[in-house]
Structure 1
Amino acid sequence: MWLINCSNYALERFDSAPHGLYLILSHTWGDGEVTFGDIANLEQARKMKGFQKIRGVCKVARSRGFSHAWVDTCCIDKTSSAELSESINSMFHWYRSAAVCIALLEDLDGGGGDGDGLATEEQLRPCRWFTRGWTLQEMIAPVFVEFYDKRWKLRGTKGQLISPLHAITRIDEDVLNGAADPLSLQSVAAARRMSWAADRTTTRVEDLAYCLMGIFGLNMPLLYGEGPKAFQRLQEMIVRTSGDMSVFAWHDPFEAFALGGSSFRGLFAAHPSQFRSCTTIETIHDPVIPAPSIAVTNAGIEF
């Protein structure tokens, strides 16, 4: 794991995430982001638009007494497929292990808010941050999240904004407030967790699956180029590892009209949006009734 030294902006390598000893940034990508290769030439990196994010999170880290920070744009060597795969599979853990996650909402204006300066639901709802796939786990995994506007003004913590965050994302409040640790998060029905991603998008279609791995406690090999099959692989792995049959509860209101209502498809959803109506689904855990036996084979699903 690479971390930025907040004193000199140099990258330093750690064998594992130093729990509670670094700040981590959550943001949406834009023009002029500083990459792993860019930051090696600090003089040039400072001239790039994206360096303002690095400077901002390091300033917050230093003010809190932390010496290191992690920013996805420059702390992953994306030219190495092995490092990229390891990083994406470790992402949920890295956000969970950070002392604080700094969520930068670059389209949130600096003015307004309630009497305490907290951002309101009306101000937060249009922010692009709530529409991106990767920021879903970046909101759920960390225990502490602080939301900053485009002027780097603190507009509230995850705990303070629990009500508007729930209204915008439909994520259970006990998940948002940190009560759901990685183990109890797995007790939330798979279809319900999928519904949290129903209105989110990613630049690459495969990332619609990869950005959800941590929320389901899974690790998968990355196969960029496989397209929508990545989302099917994710669902197969959920069934294989948990036996959670709620993954079959998806609904596509438009499918009945495809090809005159005679189209054929498999048991798995094609997109997280097909779980949009699954926000209240629950999984019943009964010690008397054994979990169903489900097997994923090359011939299909066996019950």
Structure 2
Amino acid sequence: MRLINVSNGELKEVFPERAPPYAILSHVWDDDKEVTFQEWARRDTDEAVRRKSGYQKIVGACQQAINDKLEWLWCDTNCIDKTSSAELTEAINSMFAWYTNSQVCYAYLEDVDFRSTRVTRSSGSTAGVLNKNAEENSPDSVDTEDVHPLIEKSRWFTRGWTLQELLAPSREVFFAKDWTALGDRNQLSRSISDITGIHIGALRDRSTIWQYSVAQRMSWAADRETTRPEDVAYCLLGIFNIHMPMLYGEGIDAFQRLQRAIIKITDDQSILAWG
């Protein structure tokens, strides 16, 4: 896997089992605005790359990592060379573990505009060095009782890939567009449960997710969407502890492959409800 040095933006390849402590970013993609592995390599010389909102998003995550006294960050947009099918397959099959092994996950809700909402705020701070043009700011945290109406319509809770990004990390903190801290997963577990239908126990103790039936875990993804049809299956690999090759172009056959793989490792007949 590759990690971003949050002080200078350089990428470093590491063995996952020997990775230094790192933060990890969870977000909803906006394809034209994201920064690829190739674009990140020319960020210092290409102003168009630095103008992308995806670049600013990574900068914000690096700033938060520095605030948390972490030296490394992982982000799926620029840390994976998606022109390599082998690398992409390895990354997708490993992603649940990478989120699990992170020190903290930053769930970035880009469509939650904190500044347009009047709620109670409490003082906080962050700092960063990657973006020399970024304004110095002091993001605040929000009283958790005010958060539900802010986050309930966020796209982050409707996407397929963010399901594992919600369940896998040991610690997860939610942020608004301006990097205002909204609370962590435990603090917001009741609101998140209401929004997603996921039992509070699974949100508060990730080790319990394996105790839920196949049908229950499938139901957590039922109303979520992915851009590519194959990702309906691929985004669930970690939820079911399945590894399988990526075959983009196979369409809905990917979900049938996932079902067959699940049947091989469990006698849980509830999977038959998802034919």
TM-score, normalising length from structure 2?
0.86
* Larger RCO (CA within 8 A; separation ≥ 6): 2
- Does residue 249 of structure 2 align to residue 202 of structure 1? no
Deviation at 1:114, TM superposition (A): 5.8
Query: Which of 170, 174, 190 is 2:214 aligned to?
Result: 190
How far the C-alpha of 1:20 sits from its partner, in A, is 6.9
Determine helix, strand or coil for the equivalent of 1:147. Answer: strand
Question: Is the Cα–Cα contact under 8 Å of residues 237 and 243 in structure 2 kept in the other structure?
Answer: yes
Say if 2:50 is the partner of 1:46.
yes
Partner residue, 2:134: none
* Aligned counterparts, 1:64-83, within 5 A: 64-83=68-87
Distance in 2 between residues matched to 1:121 and 1:145, nearest whole Å: 16
**1:133-282 alignment, distance < 5 Å:** 133-177=160-204, 179-181=205-207, 184-250=208-274, 269=275
Question: CA, structure 1 residues 153+246, in 2 after alignment: closer, same or farther (shift >3 Å)?
Answer: same
Q: Which ranges in structure 1 are unaligned for 5 or more consecutive residues?
A: 251-268, 270-303
Task: Please give the alpha-carbon distance, in whole angstroms, between the structure 2 residues aligned to 1:214 and 1:76.
Answer: 18
Alignment equivalent of 1:112, drawn from 107, 118, 134: 118
Aligned residue pairs total 248
Is 1:92–1:141's contact at 8 Å kept on the other side of the alignment? Answer: yes
Equivalent pair of 1:17/1:97 in contact (CA under 8 Å)? no
State the alpha-carbon separation in 1 of the partners of residues 107 and 184 from structure 2.
Answer: 9
TM-superposed CA distance for 1:88, in Å, is 0.1
Q: Could you tell me how far 1:113 is from its partner in structure 2?
A: 4.2
Specify the structure having the higher radius of gyration (Cα): 1
SS of the residue corresponding to residue 183 of structure 2 reads strand
Partner secondary structure for residue 206 of structure 2: coil
Show the 5 A alignment for 1:94-133. 94-110=98-114, 111-113=117-119, 116-118=142-144, 119-133=146-160
Counterpart of 1:288 in structure 2 is none
The question of whether the paired residues in 2 share the 8 Å contact of 1:33 and 1:48 is answered with yes
Classify the secondary structure of the residue corresponding to 1:37. helix
Q: CA separation in 2, counterparts of 1:209 and 1:173?
A: 24
Structure-2 separation of matches of 1:180 and 1:27? 20
For residue 173 of structure 2, give the secondary structure of its aligned residue in structure 1: strand
User: What does residue range 6-25 of structure 1 map to in structure 2 within 5 Å?
Assistant: 6-18=6-18, 21-25=21-25
Change (3 A) 1:235 1:112: farther
- Aligned AA (2:166): M
CA RMSD of aligned residues (A): 1.5
- Show the 5 A alignment for 1:76-95: 76-95=80-99
Q: Which residue of 2 aligns with 1:37?
A: 38
Q: TM-score, normalised by structure 1?
A: 0.79
More helix by share: 2
Q: In structure 2, how many angstroms separate the alpha carbons of the residues matched to 1:41 and 1:17?
A: 29
